[in-house]
Amino acid sequence: MTDIRLLSPDLINKIAAGEVVERPASIVKELIENAIDAKSHNITIKIERGGVNFIEISDDGIGMNEQNAKLAFVQHATSKIYSENDLQKILTLGFRGEALASISSIATTTIHTKTSTTDPILVLVRDGHIVSKPGSGRKTGTTVTVKDIFQKIPARKKFLKSENAEYKHILNTFIKITIPFHNINFNFYNNNKLVYSLKETKTIEQRIIQIFPILKSKLIPVFFSDKSINISGYIGHPSINRKDKSLQFVFVNSRAVSEPIITQAIKTGYGTNLMHNQVPVYFITINIDPKKIDVNVHPRKNELRFDNSQEIFRLIYNVVRESLEKHLQIELQNRLTNTASTPRQEYVPEYNTHTTKSIKTSSPYNFSPIPSNKPISYGKGLNFTKEILLQSQEYTSLIEPEPTIGDTLQIFNTYLLVERNGELMVLDQHAAAERITYEKIKARFQKHHSLPAQKLLIPESINISKQEYLNIIEHKKILSSIGFEFELKPNTLLLQAVPEIITTKNPQDYFNEILSHLSNSGVEIEKEEIRLLNYLISTIACHSSIRAGQKLGSFQMKTIINDLLKCKQPYSCPHGRPIIWIIKKGELEKNFKRKL
């Protein structure tokens, strides 16, 4: 057996460097973080050839005296924590005391530094020894220069990507750090060319726009605060949803982190404002008592753990959903109504007399009357149509004057055209009606936990497979809560009642659609149940709303638009398809070469 030996400090550093220094961007990250922790107001980053050859970070922070500058190179030497207790209240970006030791073990590293009371000093590692000599010509602050990364470790160098790819990693790292520290001036040079000159800004939003001018007027603020947590920042308007995740940023106590629970909460908050292949844009800042998180779970500190991640999920989900709904609702009201000069800022109640009238007369959502080929409901619960009417009347006294919608034109029996405030709006009538019906059914379900059923005159027999049989047993409760009643046998199902609101001629088609959905999606956990319910309600909405190709009168068109204005998510149908397409007057002018 071979003897066990203690590793040399140099080798320990090299091993640790494998965790801390993955690529040049990791070095840039650690050095900028050190400059920020040193209370700098101006930070300059210079890199050459994707950072592989040269990285230099200069700051005007507090600097180091000779003794500290030497200690900085030693593994686990830090000025940021002293005791185990400090580990629970970390507010600096660094604390592990291993960055400089790791970096200097894999690259030629020099520190040139000066404090307000000491002379400049130059410290470097030569043949494994830390040496220092007097520096010259520098103000208070620190410059760390790193050259020849992985020169001595060809195995690691091999894994580096092209200069361009490494450069992109560095840019991403740089951008991530500069956003929460918007009160610091940053200059970034690549191959001696100034790429970013970010002057300090008053707000984080200004810093975001400085870096991504394309996001101007596309950001929706979010804010929540209580004793233990403060959530703020911006989410992107759904019109700028993307396919890639490059504009998603989460900062916890100013540290950029990638935290699946937050990503999931934001995505869920967008709901149907996201198509299935889209992701949102967001910049979310969370300030939380450091005792309630563990930042020490990853060597590069880009992950963390929350003590109560379920609560974090709930808070973020709610703040995103509410901010988005409020914003979109007001935006659409301002767009579609005659109040461009004095934007409406208040909420309108869910239902109003207009809706009531439309149901009584010619509802575009076909809530009633029940089609003649269906028997009259004697299923459980109230008659759904009547109930909606009653609900609407409850709100009558709260109703504000109806907004004036401009003239509406229907084309191809499918799209509604409205001109308003220099914009042409094209609405998909089915998608809009579906959204309205969906929100009404959902509100009804949330209140009563069930939807009324409608008995079929002649029960329908449907052949089912063994798998379908099992799926139905598993979801029997949820299916009956939305109005399906049936007798189940191993090979057949006798459909006796369907949700009252459905107007499709063949309810078994609808039931089959649900069956195939159940076999294609594993519905096991509670979150999935919510998703299933949303699916079921959106399918009901689809089967009970006006279709494309249906001729509408002007009253019906106005009712759709008015009711859409009251929806929580007026821009997308429950399946995530867009409802509205906006064409600006300027775009038309450009197309007709009136304006260039």
Residues making contact with ligand ADP (CB under 6 A): 30, 34-35, 38, 59, 61-64, 72, 77-80, 94-101, 142
80 binds, among ligand ADP, Mg ion, none (CB under 5 to 8 A by kind): ligand ADP
- Residue whose C-alpha is closest to residue 316's, from 293, 272, 282: 282
Q: Are 182 and 37 in contact (CB under 8 A)?
A: no
The minimum distance between CB 154 and ligand ADP, in angstroms, equals 25
Q: How far apart are CA 117 and CA 458, in angstroms?
A: 94
Of all helices (H) and strands (E), which one includes residue 315? helix 309-336
Question: Which string of DSSP letters, residue by residue, matches 73-96?
Answer: TSTT--SS--SGGGGGG--SS--S
Q: How far apart are CA 336 and CA 534, in angstroms?
A: 28
35 binds, among ligand ADP, Mg ion, none (CB under 5 to 8 A by kind): ligand ADP
The minimum distance between CB 206 and Mg ion, in angstroms, equals 27
99 is a contact residue toward Mg ion (CB under 5 A)? yes
The one segment of 90-98, 383-391, 428-436, 469-477 that binds Mg ion by CB under 5 A: 90-98
The minimum distance between CB 60 and ligand ADP, in angstroms, equals 10
* 3-class DSSP string for 340-377: CCCCCCCCCCCCCHHHHHHHHCCCCCCCCCCCCCCCCC
Cβ nearer to Mg ion, comparing 299 with 452: 299
The residues, ordered by sequence, that sit 6+ positions from 117 with a Cβ below 8 Å of its Cβ are none
Q: Are 195 and 188 in contact (CB under 8 A)?
A: yes
Cβ nearer to Mg ion, comparing 76 with 594: 76
Q: Which pair of tokens denotes residue 112?
A: 């040139």
Cβ nearer to Mg ion, comparing 94 with 280: 94
434 binds, among Mg ion, ligand ADP, none (CB under 5 to 8 A by kind): none
- Residue whose C-alpha is closest to residue 128's, from 75, 78, 64: 75
Mutual angle of helices 353-360 and 554-565, in 10-degree steps? 140
Strand partners, 422: none
The minimum distance between CB 37 and Mg ion, in angstroms, equals 7
Tell which one of 61, 63, 94, 280 touches Mg ion (CB under 5 A): 94
Cβ nearer to ligand ADP, comparing 58 with 263: 58
61 binds, among ligand ADP, Mg ion, none (CB under 5 to 8 A by kind): ligand ADP
Cβ nearer to ligand ADP, comparing 78 with 190: 78
Cβ nearer to ligand ADP, comparing 254 with 534: 254
Q: For the chain, what is the largest distance between any 2 Cα atoms, rounded to a whole number of angstroms?
A: 98
The minimum distance between CB 61 and Mg ion, in angstroms, equals 12
The minimum distance between CB 30 and Mg ion, in angstroms, equals 5
Q: How far apart are CA 152 and CA 223, in angstroms?
A: 49
452 binds, among ligand ADP, Mg ion, none (CB under 5 to 8 A by kind): none
The one segment of 17-25, 33-41, 449-457, 479-487 that binds Mg ion by CB under 5 A: 33-41
The minimum distance between CB 99 and Mg ion, in angstroms, equals 4
Cβ nearer to ligand ADP, comparing 142 with 408: 142
Contacts with Mg ion in 576-595 (CB under 5 A)? none
3-state SS assignment for residue 402: coil
142 is a contact residue toward Mg ion (CB under 5 A)? no
Cβ nearer to Mg ion, comparing 26 with 329: 26
431 binds, among Mg ion, ligand ADP, none (CB under 5 to 8 A by kind): none
The minimum distance between CB 470 and Mg ion, in angstroms, equals 56
The minimum distance between CB 102 and ligand ADP, in angstroms, equals 8
3-state SS assignment for residue 46: strand
96 binds, among Mg ion, ligand ADP, none (CB under 5 to 8 A by kind): ligand ADP
- Cβ-closest residue to Mg ion? 94
Q: Are 65 and 118 in contact (CB under 8 A)?
A: yes
Cβ nearer to ligand ADP, comparing 299 with 483: 299
400 burial level (CB within 10 Å; 0-12, 13-18, 19+):
exposed
Sign of CA dihedral 584, 586, 589, 593: negative
263 binds, among ligand ADP, Mg ion, none (CB under 5 to 8 A by kind): none
Count CB-CB contacts under 10 A for residue 487: 11
Q: Are 129 and 136 in contact (CB under 8 A)?
A: no
3-state SS assignment for residue 35: helix
Q: Which pair of tokens denotes residue 34?
A: 């050190």
533 binds, among Mg ion, ligand ADP, none (CB under 5 to 8 A by kind): none
The minimum distance between CB 46 and Mg ion, in angstroms, equals 19
Tell which one of 34, 363, 410, 572 touches Mg ion (CB under 5 A): 34
- Cβ-closest residue to ligand ADP? 94
The minimum distance between CB 190 and Mg ion, in angstroms, equals 23
Cβ nearer to Mg ion, comparing 90 with 561: 90
Cβ nearer to ligand ADP, comparing 138 with 531: 138
The minimum distance between CB 443 and ligand ADP, in angstroms, equals 52
211 binds, among ligand ADP, Mg ion, none (CB under 5 to 8 A by kind): none
Cβ nearer to Mg ion, comparing 43 with 274: 43
Long-range Cβ contact pairs of 473-477 (< 8 A, separation 24 or more): 474/518, 474/523, 475/518, 475/523, 475/532
Question: Which string of DSSP letters, residue by residue, matches 234-290?
Answer: EEE-GGG-BSSSTTEEEEETTEE---HHHHHHHHHHHGGGS-TT-B--EEEEEEE-G
Q: Which residues bind Mg ion (CB under 5 A)?
A: 34, 94, 99
